[in-house]
Amino acid sequence: VDSNAPRKRRSRWGEAKTEIPGLPTAISAAGVSQVQLDNYAIHLRLEEINRKLRLNDFIPPERERYRISASNLFSTHIPTDFLYIRSPSPPPTYDAHGRRTNTREVRYRKKLEDERIKLVDRAMKNDPNFRPPVEYHQQKRSQRPSD
């Protein structure tokens, strides 16, 4: 094997299996509708997000931090199969006290919180009996401009 062979492209696959109690991941589709399957997926993802936020476990490990739309970030085409590309961090922003407001922690947390809002909105549309998690209301309130 040529030691100069291109490194393998970064993979999105993680090794670990995580099960949330009461929410199986290997499921039976017998007698289950599309909508029901989708609602179940939303439900499990919401639980997953809540857990990650609660446990402060939302910064993906380096090897799973796959690139985001490389074609938009680089003007020349780079054969991405041959490179590890890390999406560049946005320029730092600061609050009135000079504290940085967009650290990696803040950005990844915000990403999950935004996803949670979207998921809850979808779930409420699909299922009138759906009751959003408490965090959803707190977050919606804090995002709304003060009136």
Partner 1 sequence: PRPIMPAGKDTSSSDARILLMLNMVTIEDLVDDDEYGDLYEDVKDECSKYGALEDLRIPRPVKKDKSSNMSMQDAQRIDEAAGVGRVYVKYLDTMSASAALNALAGRSFAGRSIIATLLSDDSQTTPPLN
Question: Is 60 or 137 the residue whose CB approaches partner 1 more closely?
Answer: 60
Q: Are the beta carbons of 49 and 111 closer than 8 angstroms?
A: no
CB of 50 to partner 1, least distance (A): 13
Among 1, 2, 5, 30, binds partner 1 (CB under 8 A): 30
Q: For residues 78-97, which are near partner 1 according to CB under 8 A?
A: 80
Q: How far is the CB of 94 from partner 1 (least distance, A)?
A: 28
Q: CA 18, CA 37: separation in Å to the nearest integer?
A: 19
Residue 144, CA distances (Å) to 49, 96, 124 in order: 21, 21, 19
CA–CA gap between residue 59 and residue 68 (Å, rounded)? 15
Q: In this structure, how many other beta carbons lie within 10 angstroms of the beta carbon of residue 123?
A: 19
Residues near partner 1 (CB under 8 A), total:
40
The burial class, CB within 10 Å (0-12 / 13-18 / 19+), for 116 is: buried
Kindly tell me which of 11 and 56 has the beta carbon lying closer to partner 1. Answer: 11
Q: How far is the CB of 14 from partner 1 (least distance, A)?
A: 3
Residues that bind partner 1 (CB under 8 A): 9, 11-20, 24-34, 36-38, 40-41, 44-45, 48, 60, 64, 66-72, 80
